[in-house]
Amino acid sequence: MDWKLFAATFGTLFVAELGDKTQLACILMASESRKPWTVFAASSLALVCVSLLGVVLAEAVCRFVQPEVMRKIAAAGFMVIGALILMDWL
């Protein structure tokens, strides 16, 4: 296993997920249901499934598109989303 890649992926996703809508939804569901372990198990499984889907799709797309191009497409997508959020906020 590539431990450097593992640590970088874990750290990036851990920081990115802190305080996002997924975590807030988990807090809300756990507090309303009073069953935190059920919410933890279900949310963990959901995150694993979404991550698996992302990795499988990335593997398929990367067979046809160079990583540098994908990086630029992702950056452009984030800028468009940011601009749309900013315009909605103004």
pLDDT digits (tens, 9 = 90+) for 7-25: 999 998 888 888 888 889 9
How far apart CA 3 and CA 5 sit, in angstroms, is: 5
pLDDT digits (tens, 9 = 90+) for 54-87: 999 988 998 999 989 989 999 999 999 999 999 9
Q: pTM of the full predicted structure?
A: 0.68
Delimit the domains of the chain by residue range: 3-65
How far apart CA 52 and CA 39 sit, in angstroms, is: 20
Q: According to the model, what pLDDT value does residue 42 have?
A: 96
Residue 34 φ then ψ, to 5°: 60, 25
pLDDT digits (tens, 9 = 90+) for 26-63: 999 999 999 999 999 999 999 999 999 999 998 899 89
